[in-house]
Amino acid sequence: MLTRKQHELLIFIDKHLRSTGFSPSFEEMKAALQLKSKSGIHRLITALEERGFLRRRAHRARALEVIRLPETMMPRRPAQAAAAEAGAGPNVIRGNFGASPTSAAKPEVETTPAVSLPLYGRIAAGLPIEALRDADQQIDVPVALLGNGEHYALEVAGDSMEEAGILDGDTVIIRRGDTAENGSIVVALVDEAEVTLKRLRRRGNSVALEPANARYETRIFGPDRVKVQGRLVGLLRRY
C-alpha cells in the first residue's frame, strides 16, 4: 500500500511520461507535490522503487520508468507506446534540413549520459565541507568526467586558482578521498575550520597549499593541520 504522497508522485511521473516521453525533473516533482525540499522527493522515489512501482536507469539523468500503477497492479507499458496511442509525443523541435515534407522523422539523438551529484555550495574560507552540505542541491554531471569512487561538486568563490583555469563561479567536480599525489589540486581542510581549493605540495614534514595566482601567497602548515577531503577531477563552466 502506498502513502498519499507516494501515490501522488507516481501518478504525476506517469502523466509526465505519457505527455512528454521523459521523466520530470526533481524541481518539477517538488513543485507538483508542494514539498519544501528535494530530499523528500528522493525518499519517495526510493520507497516506490523498493515497492516495485518505479525503476531508475543507471547512469542516466531524469530516467525514471513506471513499472506498474496501484490501480491495476499490472506491468506498465513503455511511455513512448502510451503516448503514441494517445496521439501525443515528446516535445521535440525538429529542423527541416532540406528534407521533403514526406520524409520520415528520424529518432531523437540520445544525449550524453549524466548522473546527479550533490552540490555542497561555494567553497570559501571559514567553513568545513560538512557545513557546506545542502542535500537539496543536485547537479547533473556527464559520466565521462567521473571515474571510480564517490564524487561531489563545489562552486568556486574567488580567483586564487585562475592560472590553473579555475575561475570564480566555476563548478568543480571532486572525488572524495583523504589522500592525493603531490602536485594535485585538492579540497583541503585546515585546522578543522577552513576549507580551500589549492594545489598540494609536501615538503619534508610540512604541507604547502599553493594558489595559482601570483597575487596570493603559498601557505605552509604542519602535517597535522591539513586534511585532504578530495581531489579535483573535473570542471563545469556556464557562459
Question: Active-site residues: which are they?
Answer: 160, 198
* Cα angle 30, 31, 33; round to 5: 70
- Tell me phi and psi for residue 39, to 5 degrees: -60, -35
Altogether, the residues listed in the chain come to a count of: 239
